[in-house]
Amino acid sequence: MEMTQDLSIIDLVAHASLVVKLVMALLLGVSLVSWYWIFRKGFAIRAARGKTDAFERDFWSGGELATLYQSAVNDRHSTGALERIFEAGYREFTKLRGQKTLDPSAIIDGVRRAMRATYQRELDDLDAHLSFLATVGSVSPYVGLFGTVWGIMHAFRGLSSMSSATLAAVAPGIAEALVATAIGLFAAIPAVVAYNRFAHDVDRLSVRFESFMEEFSNILQRQLR
Q: What pLDDT score does 4 carry?
A: 43
First to last CA, the chain: 87
pTM of the model: 0.82
- pLDDT at residue 129 tops 60: yes
State how far the Cα of 22 lies from the Cα of 166, in Å rounded to an integer: 28
SS3 61: coil
State how far the Cα of 161 lies from the Cα of 182, in Å rounded to an integer: 29
Residue pair 151/180 in contact (Cβ under 8 Å)? The answer is yes
8 pLDDT band, cuts 50/70/90, is low
Q: What pLDDT score does 63 carry?
A: 80
Q: What pLDDT score does 151 carry?
A: 79
- In Å, how far are 55, 150, 183 from 176, measured between CA atoms? 54, 10, 11
Q: What pLDDT score does 214 carry?
A: 95
Total number of residues shown for the chain: 225
Domain ranges of the chain: 2-224
